[in-house]
């Protein structure tokens, strides 16, 4: 079943395209390769560029060579995850490195040369250029040819979605060219994406042709996500008013199509009980080493392949597994103990999401000492795969938030989120897990899950005043699957918390915070999580943490090097008559 992906990983080494990305720092793809177009290999590369960092090795020879960037950090998923999670109320990173510090401190204003902002900007454009090359050269004769073209268009649309979400203006190229790209404002890219996805939905196969290729459902869900966030992306569209064109109803309709039109996809609801009586919940199975099993992968509309032997990357599941664990003393996780990174914990604010429904305050929670296999029952929620137990590490967990970086003891100032694991369900107990590689997990990344369609339905109904119907979906679909107690009522804060409980550490939190006006800007002051667990003691009081924070912190700065080198920047961005930030670097970040 996974043989096509084994080929996918190996094919990266034999890529046959020489890409010219004039405005970005990138390494040559393969100076020894042929320049003859090979459709099979190039199609493979369009998927593989989301699974591995480059041509060889998990932490070297990355396709993206941004100044100051560690190659292992440069992968597609990791740059997205860093930007959406480390900047949010869910995760903090203890390593004092360039890639994470600015994000944890939400302190990237005037940081036009930020390593991580440059990394995601470069990674997205490079992968788009791979897609453009395939679309320009690939045959269009057979049904398989047509499906492949539609799939690559979807991959390109997914990358442009992240451009639109993370930047106020996006470089935009949909044809092969060595010229500098022009820039589109968010609302114009929104309009292009809506039209593109409507077309791609028609062209994609009704069912995906393999577990790791996309079908119609992935495009429907991406369209629903874009509609749900339409007010964010159209805020500076002079022709837009809130919920213009009934986008909440369109989000609901698109999400409903995902659910109703694709019976091959369904939520995982059955637990696994091993011969020894150990139980793996339905929710836990989504993030385990055998989450490619047919009865589990059915919930994923798009899953990024990982394999301990054939697709090793520091940018995917090893990060989520190793970063949250310390060396020695913690439960087995399917990866060698010495491979643990000791670098990440939840923020106390994230733990609150699971404490509040139980009416537990932090002071009471200090006496709750449970590992990740017992905490879900204590908090009445299978999704609470959290550990407050230092086990044999000698440390006692707190809920105070980190006040310094670089010391392992600070990892124990909040609980650990351990829902991603390298253990398979065929392990009668986690410690008996059989591994094909002791240092690398097989755990795939469920990048787009069916549960999101239900959450979009619920929020779209809530936004239209149908609170009862929204609560019904959350209680009888989302929380029922998690064996969580029903919520008695639903308001905006509770809805935002439910997004976190279902999708924490899955690389999307910043998107939800912005949509709910809880990130930056004058409206966000009611939700000030930024101080908690984010900075060194010497950094308390830094300028970004003031009332009425700058609205431009809701997006990332276009790298200063591109602003200076691309002759189209001033024309397209600073010359935009509708751009209220034109006097401040075009995107509100000076350079």
**Greater pLDDT, 535 or 263:** 263
- Please report which confidence band the pLDDT of residue 496 belongs to, taking 50, 70 and 90 as the band edges: very high
As a whole number of angstroms, the distance between CA 94 and CA 544 comes to 20
**Is residue 516 predicted with pLDDT exceeding 60?**
yes
- Please report which confidence band the pLDDT of residue 549 belongs to, taking 50, 70 and 90 as the band edges: low
**Is residue 100 predicted with pLDDT exceeding 70?**
yes
- The distance from CA 24 to its chain's CA centroid, rounded to whole angstroms, is 23
Q: Does residue 455 lie in a domain region?
A: no
List of E strands, 329-430: 344-346, 386-387, 416-417
Residue 142's Cβ-count burial label (10 Å; 0-12, 13-18, 19+) is exposed
Q: Are residues 542 and 430 in the same domain?
A: no
Q: Does residue 158 lie in a domain region?
A: yes
Q: Are residues 58 and 174 in the same domain?
A: yes
Cα–Cα distance list, 139 to 49, 50, 135, 214, 261 (Å): 21, 23, 9, 19, 29
Residue 53 near residue 71 (C-beta atoms within 8 A): yes
Q: Does residue 174 lie in a domain region?
A: yes
Q: Give me the residues paired with residue 170 across strands.
A: 184
Q: Are residues 532 and 406 in the same domain?
A: no
Rg, the chain, Cα only: 23
Report pLDDT digits (tens) over 277-289: 999 999 999 999 9
Report pLDDT digits (tens) over 321-354: 999 998 877 888 998 888 889 888 888 889 999 9
- Please report which confidence band the pLDDT of residue 524 belongs to, taking 50, 70 and 90 as the band edges: low
Backbone angles phi, psi at 230, to 5 degrees: -60, -40
pLDDT for position 233: 97
Instruction: Give the range of the structural domain holding residue 68, as residue numbers without chain letter.
Output: 1-186+523-591
pLDDT for position 526: 53
Report pLDDT digits (tens) over 203-214: 999 999 999 999
As a whole number of angstroms, the distance between CA 189 and CA 200 comes to 16
As a whole number of angstroms, the distance between CA 102 and CA 93 comes to 11
Mean pLDDT of 82-89: 92
Lowest mean pLDDT among 37-51, 493-507, 523-537: 523-537
pLDDT for position 328: 77
Q: Indicate the residue among 443, 471, 491 that finishes a domain.
A: 443
Would you tell me how many other CB atoms lie within 10 Å of the CB of residue 28? 12
Q: Does residue 262 lie in a domain region?
A: no
**Is residue 548 predicted with pLDDT exceeding 70?**
no
User: Of 239-243, 262-266, 533-537, where does the model show the most confidence?
Assistant: 262-266
Q: Does residue 295 lie in a domain region?
A: no
Average pLDDT, the chain: 86
CA-closest candidate to residue 218, choices 178, 261, 183: 261
CATH number, domain containing residue 96? 1.25.40.390
Q: Does residue 244 lie in a domain region?
A: no
As a whole number of angstroms, the distance between CA 467 and CA 128 comes to 40
pLDDT for position 543: 42
Mean pLDDT of 37-48: 95
Residue 528 near residue 118 (C-beta atoms within 8 A): no
Backbone angles phi, psi at 344, to 5 degrees: -145, 145
Contacts of residues 544-547 at CB distance under 8 Å and 24 or more positions apart, as own/partner, are: 544/105, 544/106, 544/107, 544/109
How many domains in the chain? Answer: 2
- Please report which confidence band the pLDDT of residue 535 belongs to, taking 50, 70 and 90 as the band edges: low
**Greater pLDDT, 547 or 265:** 265
Q: How many CA atoms within 13 Å lie on the side-chain side of 372?
A: 21
Contacts of residues 490-493 at CB distance under 8 Å and 24 or more positions apart, as own/partner, are: 490/462, 492/462, 492/516
Tokens of 8: 């996918």
DSSP 76-121: HHHHHHIIIIITTTSEEE-S--HHHHHHHTT--TT-TT-HHHHHHH
Residue 402 near residue 533 (C-beta atoms within 8 A): yes
Mean pLDDT of 360-376: 92
- Please report which confidence band the pLDDT of residue 589 belongs to, taking 50, 70 and 90 as the band edges: confident
**Is residue 17 predicted with pLDDT exceeding 50?**
no
Q: Are residues 403 and 535 in the same domain?
A: no
- Please report which confidence band the pLDDT of residue 99 belongs to, taking 50, 70 and 90 as the band edges: confident
**Is residue 19 predicted with pLDDT exceeding 50?**
no
As a whole number of angstroms, the distance between CA 353 and CA 371 comes to 18
As a whole number of angstroms, the distance between CA 85 and CA 90 comes to 6
pLDDT for position 360: 96
Contacts of 409 by beta carbon, 8 Å cutoff, 6+ apart: 395
pLDDT for position 401: 64
**Is residue 220 predicted with pLDDT exceeding 80?**
yes
Prediction pTM value: 0.92
Mean pLDDT of 483-509: 97
**Is residue 177 predicted with pLDDT exceeding 80?**
yes
As a whole number of angstroms, the distance between CA 550 and CA 542 comes to 13
pLDDT for position 4: 31
Q: Give me the residues paired with residue 448 across strands.
A: 302
DSSP 220-248: HHHHHHHHHTHHHHTTT-TT--TTGGGHH
Residue 301 near residue 258 (C-beta atoms within 8 A): yes
Q: Are residues 532 and 423 in the same domain?
A: no
As a whole number of angstroms, the distance between CA 414 and CA 386 comes to 10
Lowest mean pLDDT among 85-89, 359-363, 399-403: 399-403
Residue 555 near residue 166 (C-beta atoms within 8 A): yes
Mean pLDDT of 50-62: 82
- Please report which confidence band the pLDDT of residue 113 belongs to, taking 50, 70 and 90 as the band edges: low
Residue 274's Cβ-count burial label (10 Å; 0-12, 13-18, 19+) is middle
Q: Indicate the residue among 443, 469, 498 that finishes a domain.
A: 443
**Greater pLDDT, 246 or 115:** 246
Q: Does residue 221 lie in a domain region?
A: no
**In what helix (H) or strand (E) does residue 171 lie, and over which residues does it extend?**
strand 169-172
Angle at 207 between CA 206 and CA 210, to 5 degrees: 145
Residue 95 near residue 406 (C-beta atoms within 8 A): yes
Q: Indicate the residue among 401, 420, 443 that finishes a domain.
A: 443
**Greater pLDDT, 477 or 241:** 477
Q: Does residue 273 lie in a domain region?
A: no
pLDDT for position 25: 35
């Amino acid at each position: 079943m996974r043989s096509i992906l084994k080929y996918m990983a190996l094919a990266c080494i034999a890529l046959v395209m020489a890409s010219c990305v004039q405005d970005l720092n990138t390494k040559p793809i393969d100076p020894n390769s042929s320049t003859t177009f090979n459709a099979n290999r190039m199609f493979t590369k369009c998927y593989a560029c989301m699974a591995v960092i480059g041509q060889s090795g998990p932490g070297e020879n990355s396709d993206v060579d941004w100044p100051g960037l560690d190659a292992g950090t440069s992968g597609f998923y990791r740059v997205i995850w860093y930007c959406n999670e480390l900047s949010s109320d869910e995760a903090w990173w203890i390593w004092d490195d360039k890639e994470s510090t600015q994000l944890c401190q939400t302190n990237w204003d005037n940081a036009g040369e930020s390593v991580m902002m440059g990394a995601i900007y470069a990674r997205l454009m490079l992968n788009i250029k791979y897609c453009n090359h395939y679309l320009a050269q690939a045959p269009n004769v057979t049904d398989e040819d047509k499906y492949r073209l539609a799939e690559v268009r979807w991959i390109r649309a997914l990358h442009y979605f992240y451009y639109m979400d993370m930047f106020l203006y996006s470089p935009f190229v949909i044809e092969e060219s060595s010229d500098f790209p022009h820039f589109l404002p968010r609302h114009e890219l929104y309009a292009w994406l809506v039209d593109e996805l409507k077309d791609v939905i028609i062209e994609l196969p009704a069912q995906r042709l393999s577990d790791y290729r996309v079908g119609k459902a992935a495009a429907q869900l991406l369209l629903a996500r874009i509609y749900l966030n339409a007010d964010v992306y159209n805020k500076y569209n002079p022709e837009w008013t809130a919920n213009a064109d009934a986008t909440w109803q369109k989000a609901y309709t698109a999400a409903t199509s995902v659910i109703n039109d694709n019976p091959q996809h369904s939520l995982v609801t059955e637990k696994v009980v091993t011969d020894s009586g150990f139980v793996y919940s339905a929710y836990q199975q989504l993030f385990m080493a055998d989450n490619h099993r047919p009865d589990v992968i059915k919930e994923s509309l798009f899953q990024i392949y990982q394999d301990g032997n054939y697709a090793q990357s520091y940018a995917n599941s090893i990060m989520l597994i190793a970063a949250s664990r310390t060396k020695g003393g913690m439960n087995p996780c399917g990866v060698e103990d010495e491979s643990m990174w000791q670098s990440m914990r939840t923020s106390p604010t994230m733990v609150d999401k699971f404490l509040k429904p139980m009416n537990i305050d932090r002071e009471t929670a200090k006496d709750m000492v449970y590992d990740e296999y017992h905490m879900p029952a204590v908090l009445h929620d299978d999704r609470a795969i959290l550990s407050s137990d230092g086990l044999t590490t000698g440390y006692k967990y707190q809920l105070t938030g980190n006040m310094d970086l670089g010391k392992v003891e600070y990892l124990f100032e909040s609980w650990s989120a351990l829902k991603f694991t390298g253990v398979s369900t065929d392990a009668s107990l986690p410690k008996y897990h059989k591994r094909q590689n002791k240092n690398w997990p097989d755990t795939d990344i469920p990048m787009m899950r069916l549960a999101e369609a239900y959450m979009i339905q619920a929020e779209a109904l809530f936004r239209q005043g149908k609170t009862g119907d929204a609560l019904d979906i959350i209680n009888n679909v989302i929380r029922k699957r998690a064996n969580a107690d029903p919520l008695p009522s639903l308001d905006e804060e509770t809805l935002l918390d439910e997004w976190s409980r279902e999708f924490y550490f899955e690389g999307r939190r910043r998107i939800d915070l912005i949509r709910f006006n809880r990130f930056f800007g004058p409206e966000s002051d009611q939700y000030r999580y930024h101080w908690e667990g984010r900075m060194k003691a010497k950094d308390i009081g830094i300028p970004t943490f003031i009332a009425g924070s700058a609205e431009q912190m809701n997006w990332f700065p276009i790298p200063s090097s591109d602003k200076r080198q691309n002759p189209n920047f001033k024309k397209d961005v600073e010359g935009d008559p509708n751009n209220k930030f034109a006097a401040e670097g075009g995107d509100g970040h000076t350079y």
